[in-house]
Amino acid sequence: MKNYTEHYINGKWLAPSGPGKREMVNPATEEVFAIVANGANATDVNLAVLAARRAFEEFLKTSVQERVAMIDRIISAYEARVDDFIDVLANELGSPISAVAQVSGPIGHMKVARDLLQSYRFETRMGDSIVRREPIGVCALISPWNWPIQTPVIKFIYALAAGCTSILKGSDASPLSGLLLAEVMDKADLPPGIFNLLLGRGRVVGEALSAHPDVDLVSFTGSTVAGVKVGEAAAGTVKRVSLELGGKSANIVLQDADLEAAARWNIQRCFFNVGQSCHAPSRMLVHESQVESVLPFLVDEVSKFRLGDPHDPRTTMGPVINQAQYETVQRYIQSGIDEGAKLVCGGTGRPDGYERGLFVRPTVFSGVTEAMTIATEEIFGPVLAVMPYSTESEALKIANDSIYGLGGYVFAGDRKRGYEFASGLRAGRICFNGAATNSLTPMGGYKQSGIGRSMGVFGLEEYLEIKSVYGFAEEAAALPELVR
């Protein structure tokens, strides 16, 4: 059993000030496999913020070429540890080693940020005036447990590209991924203070970072409830807040769609990462005349998942992350049964043959109404609610009748009809007929799914301040025109 006793501040490995520790339980075996220091407190936060503030004063002067070289070094150091990341995710998250997107995805995002940095115009002109974009400063990056590598990588790499310094607070439910990222940053030979990692509880470290007067931006990904607390803590010092929060995304299958393609895609996308994804299409809206026709496809696709040991390359679905999440998912499944939804497959309890491990039965409900709990609340587990609609206007109303607006999905045979329907969805990312997303485009949500955007040029600009400069007409004339 390994013990991880230090976090990373100002280029050094230091023990947290507090005595707290956390036992890491492998969700597939329910056995402790590591112990991680969890005692960071306000003292550690102050040290990390001071280090980041001091580093920022010099880092903001770096050239684009210098930051590009840093990103290249990070990519190289990351690629050398890919197998370690895969192993860590299998142990602490229960993510199958076959699910390589969790580990390969960050490489692509880093390359996108690097290439964008080389073409981005930090100075432009409007008439004879200059518009400058400058790094905002010290950034607190608070990351979730379900994507413990990709999410912090996206946050940090765009902060670095902008010229900002960062303190990462990963989830205490999956801290080993953050520790491994710190080792990568250390190997990449970044200037001290550019990247800092704190190990501690969110209610202590997250709130202290959010309220700290020398933190200029908080980028938070997590639940809507926690995001509200971050926003409240940050409001006292009027800092910028970027929030990616919960979701209850709908996949609307129009009558002329390929039902089989829509059903199979919905299961694979909804149940990826055991449904522990805020963009999961956990509501599938199907015309009332086609519900019975689509159910066999859903059940057949569910049957293709192979549950088991995350280290087994044949496994395609592992356990949920911990006991608390297991119990939460069980409660939601039971609520669906109690409230009258039809259980198509799955149900409560472990799958047959599993006496240990936090494995959940992949579950599909039909006959789900808008009033049911499983139709309104984010479950974060492999549970799909199939909901009937009678008209497209009703389908649009059901899809939009949510406090969330993170993602939306439409399947249709007629592209024009599908585009018109997609245009009415109140969500930040819409996919048509299972289209893949694009890392250059912005990601974020409407309504209580968040504030701000990540990825691409919009993600870079989250970390930039805008300055107007007057009186330098000659210098402005040499700059490209800003088009808005």
Q: Are 278 and 245 in contact (CB under 8 A)?
A: yes
Sheet holding 363-366, edge to edge: 342-345, 363-366, 383-389, 283-287, 250-253, 407-411, 429-432
Return the half-sphere exposure (C-beta side, CA atoms, 13 A cut-off) of residue 482: 18
Q: Are 449 and 428 in contact (CB under 8 A)?
A: yes
Q: Which tokens sit at 472?
A: 């330098």
φ and ψ at residue 93, rounded to 5 degrees: -105, -25
Instruction: Round to whole Å and give the CA distance between 108 and 307.
Output: 28
The yes-or-no answer on residue 6 being catalytic is: no
Residue identified by tokens 């402790």 is 32
Q: Are 216 and 134 in contact (CB under 8 A)?
A: no
Q: Check 139, 164, 270, 278 and give the catalytic one.
A: 278
Q: Which tokens sit at 478?
A: 């040499």
Q: Check 92, 207, 244, 301 and give the catalytic one.
A: 244
CA distances from 202 to 193, 363, 367, 429 (A): 21, 31, 38, 28
Q: Are 51 and 41 in contact (CB under 8 A)?
A: no
CA distances from 339 to 37, 105, 272, 376, 445 (A): 42, 39, 26, 13, 29
Residue type, position 8, single letter: Y
Instruction: Round to whole Å and give the CA distance between 318 and 315.
Output: 7
446 beta partners: 405
Give Cα 67 to chain centroid, integer Å. Answer: 24
The yes-or-no answer on residue 244 being catalytic is: yes
Which residues belong to the active site?
244, 278
